[in-house]
Amino acid sequence: MKKKIKLFDPIIGNEEETAILKTLHSNFWASGQGIGQVLKFEKNFTRFVNSNDSVAVNSGSSALNLALSLLDLKGKEVILPSLTFVSTAHAIIQNGGKPVFVEVDTRTNNLDPIEIESHITTNTALILPVHFGGLPCDLNSILKICKKNNLPLIEDAAHAAGSEYKGKKIGTHGQFVCFSFHPVKNLAMPTGGLISINHKNHKNFKKILKARRWCGIIDRDDTNYDVKDVGWNYYMNEFSATIGNIQLKKLNKLNKIRKKTAKIYSQEIELESMMPFDDHCSYHFFWIRVKSRQKFRKLMNGFGIETGTHYKPVHSMTLFNQKNQLPNTELIGKEIVTIPTHPGLSQDDIDFVIKKINFINSSNI
């Protein structure tokens, strides 16, 4: 019987196995100070994207919460897409702000710059775009809007490790760029995240972020330390960083394989609406749109192909309760399906996925 084709699958080899055993037997598994493999990962990631600095944390959600804590968002509005994971919006609320959900461009599913402009008010404090599936947003237009309105840019780059925009890696455009290294992500760890810093005061921001990721602890000298501010227990563990250091070395190569798959999908899938091909995208996932999603996903599952729904629009969740506000996003939310792009797919798997999608489509199911 044909093996099930998984939607996401981390690619690990002997190198990860050996390194994990080494960390296991070192008996040094975690440290709030962020020394050892964590420090190494921060240095490696900073070099990889070419940013000013990096602070590793234990998830993309923590990265967003901490990055947004650097601004005063109390009572202020933050512009974001609704087509995202709920953590993007949670980080705004966790920091006292108000999420303002804005429409996406239906070609890319990224924030539409025209819609951003029309939602800016005197109370807007931040623009928080998401690089959907790893496809870089129109950062040129967004940065122009930020400059014109004197607004900072924080990016949710949870899908975009290794993506590029205008010759620079994602992680170097906004003041703070937040990554996720959840096991389904294209840079996979057991759990992890990172804030990439691009700011002339990066040393100071790093100091604040490092304190906030470890319970507010500062000025540590042997067993002595001080706490002047509230903090969280958000530090990355050594196992995650050990795997991350190896995954990072392979990231460009693995993203290249994802891109090859995405190119074939974009050429051979016979659907009207799907993710565009862009050589600068990480292709954390590849989305298509279908009319009868439930039936489509059930049929694909029957063929042994796992698919996903990314995402149910956040504004429609009970917490936000803003249904019938964003027609494009709501329609995408009903039709979107994510299909496998992970580098473990064989050519046969890719052909099989395409064949089954085209079959379902041509059968008018």
Enumerate binding residues for ligand PLP (CB under 6 A): 59-61, 84-85, 87-88, 130, 156, 158-159, 180, 182, 193
Q: Which is nearer to ligand PLP, 112 or 155 (CB)?
A: 155
What does the alpha-carbon distance between residue 15 and residue 167 come to, in Å, rounded to a whole number?
30
What does the alpha-carbon distance between residue 340 and residue 342 come to, in Å, rounded to a whole number?
6
Residue 321, phi-psi category: left (phi > 0), alpha (psi -120 to 50), beta (remainder): left
Shortest CB 311 distance to ligand PLP, Å: 8
Shortest CB 221 distance to ligand PLP, Å: 32
Shortest CB 323 distance to ligand PLP, Å: 21
CA atoms within 13 A on the CB side of 314: 20
Q: Which residue is nearest to ligand PLP (CB)?
A: 60
Q: Which is nearer to ligand PLP, 127 or 360 (CB)?
A: 127
Q: Which is nearer to ligand PLP, 218 or 317 (CB)?
A: 317
Tell which residue, 166, 157, 95, 162, has the closest CA to residue 130.
157
Q: Which is nearer to ligand PLP, 46 or 65 (CB)?
A: 65
Q: Which is nearer to ligand PLP, 251 or 299 (CB)?
A: 251
Q: Which is nearer to ligand PLP, 42 or 349 (CB)?
A: 42
Shortest CB 175 distance to ligand PLP, Å: 18
Shortest CB 68 distance to ligand PLP, Å: 12
Q: Which is nearer to ligand PLP, 201 or 233 (CB)?
A: 233
Shortest CB 24 distance to ligand PLP, Å: 23
Read off the amino acid at residue 341.
Answer: T
Shortest CB 304 distance to ligand PLP, Å: 25
What does the alpha-carbon distance between residue 249 and residue 364 come to, in Å, rounded to a whole number?
44
* Three-state secondary structure of 22-45: HHHHHCCCCCCCCCCHHHHHHHHH
Shortest CB 331 distance to ligand PLP, Å: 20
Q: Which is nearer to ligand PLP, 179 or 296 (CB)?
A: 179
